[in-house]
Amino acid sequence: MTAVEEVVRFNEAIDQALSESIAWYTRQRDRSREVLTGVIAHDLRTPLGAIVMSAQFVVRSEALGGSEVKAAGRIVSSASTMARMVSDLLDFTQVRMGGDLSISQAAMSLSELCTDAVSELRTFHPERAIELDVHGSLDGYWDRDRLRQVISNLVGNALAHGAADTPVTVRAAKTADGVHLAVHNLGEPVPPGHKSEIFDPLMRLPKNGSGGRQPSGIGLGLFIVKRIAEAHGGSVSVASDRDAGTTFTVTIPVACPPQ
């Protein structure tokens, strides 16, 4: 081997060592950042829960006037939005670190869950119309808390991007092998170029001019919805155009009872 060839091989070895060192450092940095994010999000859950419960108590108090109750209602709405963001961050961190979303399936009624979740969302967003279209009990074996998270995230997305003077509609119906859970809003459609990436983490649509507000979240809602649907053996899709509006549809099978 000539001196030139030895120099070339030495340089190649140095390049490989540098590349491996940079990759290792990047992985460690990303992992440390995700652990820190998860710890902070986890620690925020308790004080946020206390804020929500205290504000809800104030809202139900008969000693307050209309303006005080309205202010307490805004606290409940804002704190609940923060709690949802914290929950999404925890789920995102869990997935990014190689884990799967935890799913605890049990017998439940999807129609009852939709009624309960929509009632709560109406309380948090009294200025917006949220309609419910559900027929039958729609019984199955699913994770109740996770499906509530799906409804909350999809409705939150619809309120953020839909026209403010039109209703958001939550629908649930039986299918041949499971159920469909759909959330619809009118307003500017999803840009065609974004449909393929709309479920990517940290993806946020640009502000539209249809009366919808600038989204205040961190872009994890639809990513979490997709993961929850997949954890149930289902899927999520979006259909959107200017005339018909935008509909996100989660399709999940009726799971077998846990053994």
Residue-wise pLDDT for 62-94, tens only, equals 666 777 777 777 777 777 777 777 777 776 666
Structural domain of 65: 3-96
Domain total in the chain: 2
The pair of structure tokens assigned to 130 is: 């949220």
Shared domain for 28 and 118, answered yes or no, is: no
Is 50 exceeded by the pLDDT of residue 4? yes
- Based on the domain organization, do 90 and 21 belong to the same domain? yes
Whether residues 90 and 208 fall in one domain:
no
The whole-angstrom separation of Cα 173 and Cα 137 is 9
CA quadruple 182, 234, 228, 117: dihedral positive or negative? positive
**Positive or negative, the Cα torsion across 245, 241, 151, 144?**
positive
Are 156 and 206 in the same domain? yes
On the 0-12 / 13-18 / 19+ scale of CB atoms within 10 A, 229 is buried
Q: Are 67 and 16 in a shared domain?
A: yes
Q: Please, how many CA atoms are within 13 Å of residue 32, restricted to the half-sphere of its CB?
A: 6
The pLDDT tens digits for 106-164 are 999 999 999 999 998 888 788 899 999 998 779 999 999 889 989 988 998 899 889 98
How many percent of the chain have pLDDT more than 90?
25
Token pair of 223 as six digits: 């990513």
Q: Which strand ranges, in their side-by-side order, compose the sheet holding 168-174?
A: 130-134, 168-174, 178-185, 245-253, 235-241
Residue 12 CA, chain-centre distance (Å), reads 46
Pairing of strands 130-134, 168-174: parallel
User: CA–CA separation, 226 vs 126, rounded Å?
Assistant: 28
Number of residues written out for the chain: 259
Angle at 55 between CA 51 and CA 61, to 5 degrees: 150
What's the CATH number where 184 sits? Answer: 3.30.565.10
pLDDT at 253 over 60: yes
Q: Are residues 182 and 119 in the same domain?
A: yes
Q: What is residue 212's predicted lDDT score, i.e. its pLDDT?
A: 44
Please check the confidence at residue 210 and state whether its pLDDT lies above 60.
Answer: no
Tell me what pLDDT residue 213 has: 45
Q: Is the four-CA dihedral 243, 131, 190, 164 of positive or negative sign? A: positive
Q: Are residues 15 and 87 in the same domain?
A: yes
